[in-house]
Amino acid sequence: MITANRKKTSVKFLQKCPTGITGFDQITLGGLPKSRATLVCGGAGSGKSMFGLEFLIRGAVHYNEPGLFIAFEETDLELTQNIASLGFDVDDLIARNKLVLDHVQIDRTEFKEIGVYNLDGLFIRLATTIEKYKIKRVVLDTLEVLFGCLNNETILRGELQRLFRWFKSKDITVLVTAEQGANTFTRYGLEEYVADCVIFLDNRVENQISTRRLRIAKYRGSSHGCNEYPFIITAHGIEITAITSILLDYKISNKHITTGIDQLDTMLGGSGFYAGSSILISGPAGVGKSSIAAAFANGTCKRGEKCLYFAFEESVDQILRNTGSIGLKLEQWVNKNLLKFHAIIPNSTGLAALFAEVKQLTEDFKPNIVIIDPITCLKAAEHLDEIQNIIAFFKNRNITMMFTSSISGEGTTEFANNDEGVSSLIDTYILLQYLYGEGERNRGINILKSRGMAHSNQLREVIITNKGINFQDVYIGTDKVLAGSARLVQASNLEIDNSNRESDIKHKERELEITRKILEGEITALHAKLEDAKEEEVHLNRQKDHIYNLIKKSRNEISKIRMADITKPSKHTLRGTKNGKSKKHKEKESY
């Protein structure tokens, strides 16, 4: 057998350069490829330049890596103003030599393209700046401007390839931005030779709402998330929301918190919800979802804990008025800074922006529970990722969350399928429904599921009055559930039946008492007769003894007279005598 000698070589894994951009390093498993070139492409307004600027700023602030931004379109002043609008202190970074902004102006009217040439002038300019400030990160913004000004693409491509090889030899991570082409990532095919990593940004408008999305189209030597991830540009920079950026490794709690309704606590095993769990209150319009959510907020604030309430359908004043009509005075908790409302129209911004706003307000207010009323706008199948992101965000912080959701129909379990996608993500699912009967429409509540705890399987009637929320047991008729007036009639009939049964029982108890007394009288009489018989028996025994003594004495006397032997009368003699004398004795006496 012929074997080949193989030398063992150590394989170096691809090193990553963290960007510091929220969510991006998670979906790329560490950031951009270190000491390599990355292409960020997309249409106008998709956020390419902002991505590059934040890459440099985060590197300078968090990783102590100075950055160089080369702009071929915007001036240094324009770049400074754009970055400052997002809350970054650019002047301080520039003063500390952590950030360098350089504008390279190329005007086609100022030169002529003749013969063979190179870009050594650009190389020298870059090399001087890099060596002076010890640059580790470089962004070339809209590098394709060179292709619009120079016609010889062959020379230009060769020079750019030489440039990127030079960056790699200097251990510098470079990011290039480019405009999107008609059917390609870029107009001039830059991805063909810069594409160690290709990031595609998109600013899409759907239903008159603009949403930015990010997709990693290519990443040599590394795994990465392949989906489209919504992102927004906020006052704190770019924020990417991605399922893969939120791990399901949150801690759980065995602590229970009240629902704010004692009878609902009882239905949930007597203790209420688990702290840090997710709750969905589902049902048709007007069935009382927001009222139960308000009761939950009220119970939370009573414990001295904070509640953040996102209202997507009503204003704050309207919520305070409506909840006050059912005995919930929420304004007192607002004044004590235990309850904070945030009322907005959810469709006014994209879902990514909405989630970022929810996240930022949560970080600022630090609530114990969060209520989102309702999440109907997020229930579409394509938006389930956003709901899962929100749930995972809260669970990672052990924040209890309650969502309300409107469903079509009357709220029966058949129509609850409208929440099928959402309910699978929820820990406790409570269904409110309408109960019809006797010309009335009443409310009912049922707990469809509650993970990790025993809970009631009963359908109960919900009564909402100016004194609060109350639950009543429903009655089962011959073929339907009775609630409202039908329940009251049935309860009245049952009360009458119970009263009649109690009357019958009392009548029978009286009869039994009379019988008992009669029997007790008879028993007393029998006891008296028995005592008389006992006394008679004692008297007879005494009389018998007396007669025996008399006979004995009489015989003694007779024996003395006759001078005979004295004998004792037998007690058996007395058995056949009458008045103590036998027949034979009577015969002797007759003689």
Q: What is the pLDDT of residue 275?
A: 93
Residue 1 pLDDT exceeds 50? no
Structural tokens at position 478: 């011959």
Q: Mean per-residue pLDDT for 284-290? A: 91
Q: Where are the beta strands (DSSP E) in 438-559?
A: 440-450, 460-465, 468-473, 475-476, 481-482
Q: Quick one: pLDDT band at residue 376, thresholds 50, 70, 90?
A: confident
Task: Tell me the β-bridge partners of 278.
Answer: 401
Q: Quick one: pLDDT band at residue 507, thresholds 50, 70, 90?
A: confident
Q: State phi, psi for 202 to the nearest 5 degrees.
A: -140, 135
User: Which stretches of 219-315 are DSSP H helices?
Assistant: 262-267, 289-302
Q: Mean per-residue pLDDT for 18-33? A: 91
Q: Where are the beta strands (DSSP E) in 104-182?
A: 137-141, 173-179
563: Cβ contacts below 8 Å, ≥ 6 apart: none
> Looking at the domain covering 16-245, what would its CATH class be?
alpha beta
> Do the strands 307-311 and 339-343 form a parallel or antiparallel pair, or are they unpaired?
parallel
Residue 352: in which H helix or E strand, if any?
helix 351-365
Residue 181 DSSP symbol? -
Tell me the C-alpha distance between 451 and 165, whole Å. 57
Q: In what order do the strands lie in the sheet with 440-450?
A: 339-343, 307-311, 369-373, 400-406, 278-283, 428-437, 440-450, 460-465, 468-473
Residue 580 pLDDT exceeds 70? no
Tens-digit pLDDT profile for residues 114-133? 666 677 787 888 889 999 99
Give the range among 62-71, 92-101, 252-261, 374-383 with minimum mean pLDDT.
374-383
Q: Mean per-residue pLDDT for 565-577? A: 53
Q: Would you say 191 and 216 are in contact if contact means Cβ atoms under 8 Å apart?
A: no
Task: Tell me the β-bridge partners of 405.
Answer: 282
Q: State phi, psi for 349 to the nearest 5 degrees.
A: -135, 170
Q: Quick one: pLDDT band at residue 435, thresholds 50, 70, 90?
A: confident
Give the range among 237-241, 245-249, 289-293, 329-333 with minimum mean pLDDT.
245-249
Tell me the C-alpha distance between 383 and 405, whole Å. 14
> Looking at the domain covering 256-488, what would its CATH class be?
alpha beta
- The CA–CA distances, whole Å, from 433 to 51, 436, 485 equal 48, 10, 17
136 burial via Cβ count (<10 Å: 0-12, 13-18, 19+): buried
Residue 38: in which H helix or E strand, if any?
strand 37-42
Q: What is the pLDDT of residue 133?
A: 93
**More confident site: 321 or 235:** 321
Q: What is the pLDDT of residue 156?
A: 73
Tens-digit pLDDT profile for residues 134-180? 999 999 988 777 766 666 777 777 777 888 888 888 899 999 998 88
Q: What is the pLDDT of residue 585?
A: 45
Q: Would you say 368 and 302 are in contact if contact means Cβ atoms under 8 Å apart?
A: no
Do 16-245 and 256-488 agree at the fold level? Answer: yes
Structural tokens at position 175: 């990011």
- The CA–CA distances, whole Å, from 588 to 577, 580, 582 equal 15, 15, 10
- Please tell me whether residue 7 adopts helix, strand or coil conformation: coil
Tell me the C-alpha distance between 296 and 64, whole Å. 47
Q: Quick one: pLDDT band at residue 472, thresholds 50, 70, 90?
A: confident
> Do the strands 428-437 and 440-450 form a parallel or antiparallel pair, or are they unpaired?
antiparallel
Q: What is the pLDDT of residue 98?
A: 92
Tell me the C-alpha distance between 258 and 265, whole Å. 6
pTM for this model (two decimals): 0.68
60 burial via Cβ count (<10 Å: 0-12, 13-18, 19+): buried
Q: Mean per-residue pLDDT for 177-196? A: 75
Concatenate the DSSP letters of all residues of 58-115 into one string.
Answer: HHHHHS---EEEEESSS-HHHHHHHHHTTT--HHHHHHTTSEEEEE----GGG----S
- Please tell me whether residue 533 adopts helix, strand or coil conformation: helix
Q: Mean per-residue pLDDT for 302-327? A: 94
Hey, where are the domains in the chain? 16-245, 256-488, 541-577
- Residue 52's closest CA among 169, 26, 353, 42? 42
- The count of C-alpha atoms lying within 13 angstroms of the C-alpha of 8, restricted to the half-sphere facing its C-beta, is 0
Question: Can you count the helices (H) and strands (E) in the chain?
Answer: 17, 24
Residue 368 DSSP symbol? S
